[in-house]
Structure 1
Amino acid sequence: MTTKLDGNCLALDTVSLSRRNKLILDRISCQLYPGEVLGILGANGAGKSTLLNVLSGELPADAGRVLLDGVVIHDMSVGELARRRTVLPQQAGLAFNLAVREVVAMGAYPFPELSARDVASAIKAALQCAEVAHLAERRYPELSGGEQQRVQFARVLVQALIARNPGEARYLLLDEPTASLDPRHQHGLLGAAAMLAKQEQLGVAVVLHDVNLAATYCNRIVLLAAGQLVAQGIPAEVLQSGYLRQTYQLDSQVIAHPQHPERPLVLFA
């Protein structure tokens, strides 16, 4: 039996989590809304990936609640959850010698009712969006790390976009998706995520290390330090020298981006 609560978002409500007697997340509350890109930033060990894993429902919290559109996430079945949110982990390893098209098709597994034609159409669109259509017939293990990451991005796009009911919110959670990508493909992936958030009303949460990529593509940003919430809000509110010093233990200068004055540009000392 599910427990209904108010709210149309994927949310953490006063969530705490400890591992081996160490507090990893300390009373964190944040929300991911349909139609936005939420950046999760912090130094190594700040709790970013843990926060994303709790938000996805893959890791249970010790205290607090995780809610998907007002429903406690652990009241949802595995199948129901797979149809509403999808996760791209840091390392999406795959040992099988599959073609790229077959890997991307895995995104349709939670939707067995779909016809082969519908799945093929979704695969084609995702391959194009992730800029890997030219790799469709290649064997996945033969690809470079960056190419594999973009293929995995196409896979989660299929899962996030296929067979949506009218008005149904979907959530896409990306853990350091740009780590193995060159600058062109970093911008390509995040640009595609931002476009889909706006056009398809996806809620996209992305863990990033590059502060300026977050400033460019994220509607809102969460800053974490030692498992605590430093700040959250639009980039101009969050990416300030004081908050950045608390987060990264580095001095910084924040100026208006020369090409996008409404977006901050962070220069670390």
Structure 2
Amino acid sequence: MIEAKQISFGVKGKQILQPVDFTTDKEEFVVILGPNGAGKSTLVKLLSSGLKQSSGTISYYGKDLNEWTLDNLSKYRAYMHQESMIASNFTVREVLEMARYRYPETKNQFNKFIMDKIVTELNLHSFLEMEFNFLSGGEKQRVQFGRVLLQLESEGEIQPIKYLFLDEPLNNLDVRYQIELLKYARKFVDDKRGSVIVVMHDINLCYQYADRVLLMQKGKVIMDGRVDEVMNPQILSETYQIELEQIQALDGEVFYRHVSYSSNLLDKSQL
């Protein structure tokens, strides 16, 4: 369980995040949505201990975040940030292996098993021996996603809910790997391995994969609820300051588009 009470963040007299309450006590896929500058990444960094809040408290499993050692906390939460550069010439294999060094008690056999499993599932075999910093942006994202997954893997049947924080993980990924990453993250939740808390910009993918949405604007969480409650086209239009409409396909799938998109198509068809 993560519980944040009235957490805020400011720097040099500028308030970046207004006081926010946030609680998650079950496996769920949470998307933090909102326009640029809304405070999405700041909130994720605070919740994952990447930043120290200016006010308020954060606890994991009832224990204040300040009381956790980094080694222990790293076994229960992992954070994938936007920046992918590594200040050394590590290979992809070495970057992935770093995720396991906080588990000295774990048998090498398990480490090898889980490494092989994730490398195969994320299709990373072809560049395991390549230097990480020579990869494309999308390849780096896939490796970093593998790293955070490896960080949370542990032996034993009974484990508390673990937390996977992803800050704009779809950056630089082509459509195929965007979908594969989100499917894997969704499976992480559905398999009862933990919760995913992700910053995204794509409202259509958000609707497809999220259980819960935090909608942010100007440093505030303006709505927090089920995906079908929050993703009202009128609310989204007001938040993004662009007119959006919700379309339901014959198969029941829901998607959103800019209203002028349909009129542009109509104009072209009449030429």
TM normalised by structure 1 equals 0.90
Q: In the alignment, what sits opposite 2:248?
A: 256
Mapped to 2, the partners of 1:268 and 1:108 lie a distance apart of 45
Provide closer, same or farther for how the CA distance between residues 89 and 136 of structure 1 changes in structure 2, counting only shifts above 3 A.
Answer: same
Q: How does 1:160-175 map to 2 (within 5 A)?
A: 160-163=152-155, 166-175=158-167
Q: In the alignment, what sits opposite 1:126?
A: 118
1:136: Cα distance to partner? 2.3
Equivalent residue for 1:241, pick from 233, 239, 249? 233
Equivalent residue for 1:178, pick from 170, 183, 189? 170
Q: In the alignment, what sits opposite 1:230?
A: 222
Equivalent residue for 2:86, pick from 61, 74, 94? 94
Equivalent residue for 2:3, pick from 11, 14, 17? 11
Q: Which amino acid aligns with 1:266?
A: Y
SS at match of 1:253: strand
Equivalent residue for 2:107, pick from 91, 108, 115? 115
1:165: Cα distance to partner? 6.2
Mapped to 2, the partners of 1:148 and 1:61 lie a distance apart of 29
Contact map agreement 1:108 1:162 (CA 8 A) in 2: no
Question: After the TM superposition, which of the residue ranges 30-39 and 160-169 deviates more from structure 2?
Answer: 160-169
State the structure with more CA Rg.
2
Mapped to 2, the partners of 1:193 and 1:62 lie a distance apart of 30
- The RMSD of aligned alpha carbons is 1.7
1:240: Cα distance to partner? 0.8
Question: After the TM superposition, which of the residue ranges 83-92 and 134-143 deviates more from structure 2?
Answer: 134-143
TM normalised by structure 2 equals 0.89
1:129: Cα distance to partner? 2.8
Equivalent residue for 1:266, pick from 256, 260, 263? 256
Equivalent residue for 2:34, pick from 22, 42, 50? 42
Q: Which runs of 5+ in 2 are unaligned?
A: 260-271
Q: Which runs of 5+ in 1 are unaligned?
A: 1-8
Q: In the alignment, what sits opposite 1:63?
A: 55
Mapped to 2, the partners of 1:76 and 1:137 lie a distance apart of 35
1:151: Cα distance to partner? 0.6
Q: In the alignment, what sits opposite 1:4?
A: none
